[in-house]
């Protein structure tokens, strides 16, 4: 028993040391964020406290519970020696150490998200509004040969049932997929080969796309176009259709929630308005790229879903189409430029591949 505990402790410490760069990055980012906010007189609008409860419940309780229950079910459905083997693999020191160290990373993610939102909220206050919406909307029209992308989509499928489905996918399933994938990668030893690269790309999406570029080209998005430009007619038909949804997580409800936070200057989960580039599209593109590196067939399916999320972002009025186009290009470039560097620094003891291909050997 003592040797097992010692092995477990050693594995946890080893993983924490390997993740030191991540914690240093999050702390440096948070320190920079606080100094930045103080410099612009925005320090009172931090959102860190809003993420503590939901973050700990999701990443320290709910997701670990799901993982343990899944492993237990997998053990129960084995027989005789296979059951014992499945138990040893599912609850090995290495597997449990990965879970504990991964949960620590997710606590860091909670701090990171609070900093990200706090910085994002400040943009509109510092700029005194959203100066790039007219340019983005005109760029969309130019790229689509004089047509508004949302009108093209509505011409194909303007349907209340479809609207509800898209809202559920965009506001619920997207989060489950992206943060479920993140939790799997940081907790499962079978993902050790891509773990560091995945975390680095995750930080890239949020910091570079969601903070730096969002601040440089600050736009509110089609749903707020009338508020920020005074032209309520351009997207009026789209807003009227979105308002017909009575779903609890409807786009219109969430969009109104964010605008109220903005007008009142209040912090909150998901607060801060910026459309370019699309973090929704960027993050799902990142996951599709990693999945494609494991399986071409799954990669094709993943990129079909990327296209669906891109169209959904336009359909729901969150983004101009150009927001998603740029996100895909940026993330693809960053992924391919960084892939070799991270492949050289990945743990050599783990077989090459994405989660699933090496699961039997590393779980």
pLDDT digits (tens, 9 = 90+) for 295-349: 999 999 999 999 999 999 999 999 999 999 999 999 999 999 999 888 776 654 3
Q: Could you read off the pLDDT of 162-175 as tens digits, one per residue?
A: 999 999 999 999 99
Q: Could you read off the pLDDT of 186-206 as tens digits, one per residue?
A: 999 889 999 999 999 999 999
The pLDDT of residue 357: 40
Residue 257 has pLDDT above 60, yes or no: yes
CA distance linking residue 363 with residue 360, whole number of Å: 6
| Phi, psi dihedral angles at 357 (to 5 degrees) | -70, -35
pLDDT bucket at 149, cuts 50 / 70 / 90: very high
Residue 121, classed as helix, strand or coil, is: helix
Radius of gyration of the chain (CA): 22
Confirm if 198 and 191 have CB atoms less than 8 A apart. yes
Confirm if 291 and 299 have CB atoms less than 8 A apart. yes
Question: 32: which 2 tokens?
Answer: 């920079």
Residue whose entry in the numeric block shows the structure tokens 């505990």: 5
| Mean of the per-residue pLDDT values of the chain | 89
pTM of the model: 0.89
């Amino acid at each position: 028993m003592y040797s097992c505990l010692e092995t477990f402790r050693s594995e946890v410490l080893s993983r924490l040391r390997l993740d030191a760069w991540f914690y240093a990055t999050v702390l440096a980012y948070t320190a920079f964020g606080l100094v930045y906010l103080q410099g612009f007189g925005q320090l009172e609008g931090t959102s860190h406290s809003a993420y503590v409860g939901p973050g700990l419940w999701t990443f320290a309780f709910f997701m670990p519970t799901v993982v343990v229950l899944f492993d237990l079910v997998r053990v129960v459905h084995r027989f005789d020696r296979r059951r014992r083997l499945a138990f040893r693999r599912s609850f090995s020191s290495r597997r449990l150490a990965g879970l504990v160290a991964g949960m620590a990373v997710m606590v860091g993610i909670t701090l990171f998200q609070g900093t990200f939102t706090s910085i994002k909220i400040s943009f509109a206050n510092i700029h005194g509004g959203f100066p790039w919406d007219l340019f983005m909307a005109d760029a969309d029209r130019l790229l689509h040969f004089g047509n508004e992308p949302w009108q093209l989509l509505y011409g194909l499928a303007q349907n209340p049932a479809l609207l509800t489905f898209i809202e559920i996918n965009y506001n619920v399933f997207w989060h489950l997929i992206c943060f479920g994938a993140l939790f799997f990668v940081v907790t499962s030893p079978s993902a050790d080969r891509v773990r560091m690269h995945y975390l680095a790309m995750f930080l890239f999406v949020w910091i570079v796309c969601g903070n730096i570029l969002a601040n440089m080209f600050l736009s509110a998005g089609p749903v707020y176009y009338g508020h920020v430009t005074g032209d309520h007619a351009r997207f009026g038909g789209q807003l009227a259709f979105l308002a017909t949804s009575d779903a609890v997580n409807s786009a219109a409800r969430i969009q109104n929630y964010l605008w109220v936070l903005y007008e009142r200057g209040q912090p909150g989960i998901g607060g801060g308005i910026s459309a370019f580039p699309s973090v929704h599209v960027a993050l799902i593109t990142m996951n599709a790229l990693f999945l494609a590196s494991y399986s071409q067939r799954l990669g094709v399916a993943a990129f079909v879903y990327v296209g669906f999320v891109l169209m959904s972002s336009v359909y729901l009025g969150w983004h101009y189409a150009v927001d998603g186009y740029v996100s895909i290009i940026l993330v693809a470039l960053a992924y391919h430029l960084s892939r070799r560097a991270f492949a050289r620094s990945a743990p050599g003891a783990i077989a090459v591949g994405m989660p699933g291909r090496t699961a039997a050997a590393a779980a």
